[in-house]
Amino acid sequence: MALRKLASDALARGMLASEALVGKELSSIPKAWASTSAAVKVKNTKKTEDLKDAPKRTVFISQSSDVFSNLALEDWLYKNWSFERRNVLLLWRNSPCVVIGRHQNPQVEANLSYLESAGVPLARRGSGGGAVYHDHGNLNCTFFTTRDRYDRHTNLEMICRALHLDFGIQAHPNSRDDIILDHDHKVSGSAAKLGRNTAYHHCTLLVNTDRHQLKLTLNGDKSIKSKATASTPAHVMNLSEMKPGITVEQVLTSVGRAFLGHDQHLANGFTLVNPTDEWFPGLGELEAVLRSSRWLEGQTPRCTVTRCVPIPQGLLPHASNTSLAVTVQAYHGLVEEVRMEDDSGKEGVAELVQDIGAGLRGAPFTSDTFNIIAGRLRFSPALTHFPIPASARPIPTPTRSVI
Amino acid sequence: MQQLGERRVGRHTTVSVCRDSTMARVLLSTVRSYTPKLSALQLPRSACAWKNTAKHFSTTHRQLSNYKYTEKHEWVAVDGNIGTIGITNYAQEALGDIVYAQLPEVDTQYEQMEECGALESVKAASELYCPVSGKVTEINAAVEDQPSLINKSCYEEGWLFKLELTVPSEIDELMDEAAYEKFLKESEE
């Protein structure tokens, strides 16, 4: 794997060995790192006291490409570490997956049936914002700081500077904190989570992503109405379209070096991390929460969906009506209420629909829910009260007359 | 009836707060208070003698002197045993336009400073922390439907949730309005 090559390069240059850094403080700067940057003179613009108090900078590179492990690692660092004396940049990549924001609706954002058929998992992150597609051509960067030092724009400016200096790519952050290339094409989107003392800002960086797959996966059901955070669609572009041959590893090194800066007293180097329970005790529990349906579906805000459901002919006064507009209201992924969209002059049917709703309350709201409602409408025992012509009644299953 | 505490806060002011009443029985007779002037009953410090003679009234309009503040810019307004929680003007300005409010679920128990929800604004999800321990009794459905209420009216219509206090003494540790203003000034420097 290319990441292993990078790791061995990093180690060859005398950077800190990975096993020495499991959740421990990085106390000393390796001498080899100091010697490679010996050519760069430290510009002593700040007073010595400021330099001593300034936070140390560390870059972590995750060795996992599992989205749940990486999100759990992000969560672990956010919950367990203090960033008073250090700023951390976590660089990670995932196998193909879709990640939605904390308050989004998965059905609205992603094409769930396509995800299932393509084997692409869906994950929900803890920060806000919209839905994104990750794969091996996308680099994720998470900047951890204290809540006071949270500053998205500076982080994005740093990334743009790195891209310009190392690859000659002219990119700039816009007012929405997206990184834009070529006037209006988005190569990066940002989101953040703010806690009591700690905050993190993370962003994607499209280096060489499969844009076709991106379009197919982020193609959800927009007919669902809700107060959930909506994604803002944008024209996306890969960095490789501006600079052919660019790889994620190169961008990773470039961004990491720019983050560490020229000040060797503050730079703690690159560190490879493995998001497992052995390295980060308690990470397994965080990962289990991220995989649970309580988190994935249970955080979905209230939404309403209206669909036309087929009904037995004759149920409604006009014999030609064969479908009924039914609205389902769901909260936290469970059915809350089922009602008819337009219930003028159809009281009997409205009650029937409400009975079905009472029966379905608390059941998970899935793509199958409307089929279930149609089935119950068709075979409901209450239909005997309706003047449905015998020809329109559902045909009973023939019973065996011969034993 | 259980008397929680009685404190002399000024020359002419005695504050008594009692539990087991759905309406706050607070008697203030100082000029600087924001409440309408009530019948001035001079209370003996030891007895709750006004139990039978005090008039019941409901505090329908917000008494700003009832609000307590945390260092993380949340406020708690106590009314009997129920505390109403919201965020302060400083917090709503810092967050920007709030696009979604994830409120805690009713009947959930929270410890002080435990995470109980989130406010999303401009792609940043900001955690909500429970300023006092308690059990959630009610959430503001209006804010779920229209999160901008928090920006427009963070002390009144933009309240977030109510809870039944389990450790009422925590309220005393929070800042009152004057202390919070001072805290804000000091943080700006």
pLDDT (mean) for A273-297: 93
Q: E strands of A10-137, at which residues? A: 56-62, 86-92, 97-100, 122-124, 132-134
C-beta neighbour count of B184 within 10 angstroms? 14
| Residue in chain A nearest B101 by alpha carbon | A103
| Residue in chain A nearest B73 by alpha carbon | A196
Q: What mean pLDDT value characterizes chain B?
A: 75
DSSP annotation of B153: -
In a mutagenesis test of the A interface, which of B120, B145, B146 is the best target, namely the one with the most A β-carbons within 10 Å? Answer: B120
B123 close to A (CB below 8 A): yes
Structure confidence by residue, pLDDT tens digits, B93-136: 988 899 999 999 899 999 988 888 999 998 789 999 999 999 99
A203 close to B (CB below 8 A): no
Cβ separation of A127 and B99 shorter than 8 Å? no
Structure confidence by residue, pLDDT tens digits, B138-155: 999 999 889 999 999 999
- Residue B58, pLDDT > 70, answer no
Alpha carbon B175 to its chain centroid, in Å, reads 11
Query: Which member of B99, B100, B125 has the closest CB to residue A193?
Result: B125
- Residue A104, pLDDT > 90, answer yes
Q: Which amino acid is at B10?
A: G
Query: Which 88-107 residues of chain A touch chain B by CB within 8 A?
Result: 101-103
Cβ separation of A102 and B123 shorter than 8 Å? no
The percentage of chain A sitting over the pLDDT mark of 90, rounded to a whole number, equals: 49
Partners of B161 in the beta sheet? B85, B139
Contacts of A221 (CB under 8 A, 6+ apart): A107, A108, A305
B147 close to A (CB below 8 A): yes
Q: How far apart are CA A195 and CA A76, in angstroms?
A: 13
Q: How far apart are CA A336 and CA A328, in angstroms?
A: 8
Q: Which residue has the tokens 């109510």?
A: B162
* Pairwise pLDDT comparison (A266 vs A140), residue with the higher score: A140
Domain ranges of chain A: 2-295, 303-384
C-beta neighbour count of B188 within 10 angstroms? 7
- Residue A18, pLDDT > 50, answer no
Query: Which 22-81 residues of chain B touch chain A by CB within 8 A?
Result: 72
- Residue A169, pLDDT > 70, answer yes
A42-45 LR contacts (CB < 8 Å, sep 24+)? A42/A262, A42/A263, A42/A264, A42/A265, A43/A262
pLDDT (mean) for A241-267: 88
Query: Which member of B99, B102, B124 has the closest CB to residue A194?
Result: B124
pLDDT of res. A56: 87
Among the four given CATH numbers 1.20.1300, 3.90.79, 3.30.70, 3.30.390, the one describing domain A303-384: 3.30.390
Cβ separation of A190 and B123 shorter than 8 Å? yes
DSSP annotation of A236: B
A178 close to B (CB below 8 A): no
- Where does the pLDDT of residue A347 fall: very low under 50, low under 70, confident under 90, or very high at 90 and above? low
Residue-wise burial string across A350-375, b where 16 or more C-beta atoms lie within 10 A, e elsewhere: eebbeebbeebeeeebeeebbebbbe
| Residue in chain A nearest B143 by alpha carbon | A227
Beta strands A303-310 and A225-226, pairing class: antiparallel
Query: Which member of A128, A196, A227 has the closest CB to residue B123?
Result: A128
Q: How far apart are CA A104 and CA A102, in angstroms?
A: 6
Residue-wise burial string across A89-112, b where 16 or more C-beta atoms lie within 10 A, e elsewhere: bbbbbbebbbbbbbbbbbbbbbbb
Contacts of B67 (CB under 8 A, 6+ apart): B75, B76, B77, B155, B176, B177
Quick one: which of A256, A208, A264 has its CA closest to A236? Answer: A208
Quick one: which of A345, A358, A279 has its CA closest to A76? Answer: A279
- Where does the pLDDT of residue B168 fall: very low under 50, low under 70, confident under 90, or very high at 90 and above? confident
| Phi, psi dihedral angles at B125 (to 5 degrees) | -95, 115
B113 close to A (CB below 8 A): yes
* Pairwise pLDDT comparison (A389 vs B131), residue with the higher score: B131
Beta strands A190-194 and B124-129, pairing class: parallel
Range of weakest confidence among A48-62, A272-286, A384-398, B153-167: A384-398
In a mutagenesis test of the B interface, which of A78, A102, A103 is the best target, namely the one with the most B β-carbons within 10 Å? Answer: A103
Structure confidence by residue, pLDDT tens digits, A201-245: 999 999 999 999 999 999 888 888 888 888 888 899 999 999 999
pLDDT of res. B26: 43
Q: Full-prediction pTM beyond 0.80?
A: no
Determine the CATH number of domain A2-295. 3.30.930.10
pLDDT of res. B64: 53
Residues of A in contact with B127 (CB under 8 A): 193-196
Range of weakest confidence among A340-349, B32-41, B78-87, B180-189: B32-41
Q: What mean pLDDT value characterizes chain A?
A: 81
B133 close to A (CB below 8 A): no
Q: Which amino acid is at A271?
A: T
Q: Which range, A311-315, A325-329, A351-355, is most confident? A: A325-329
| Residue in chain B nearest A176 by alpha carbon | B122
**First vs last C-alpha separation in chain B:** 46
Cβ separation of A229 and B100 shorter than 8 Å? yes
pLDDT of res. A358: 87
Cβ separation of B113 and A129 shorter than 8 Å? no
Contact A143, A60 (CB under 8 A): no
pLDDT of res. A45: 40
Query: Which 228-257 residues of chain A touch chain B by CB within 8 A?
Result: 228-229
* Pairwise pLDDT comparison (A390 vs B183), residue with the higher score: B183
- Where does the pLDDT of residue B10 fall: very low under 50, low under 70, confident under 90, or very high at 90 and above? low
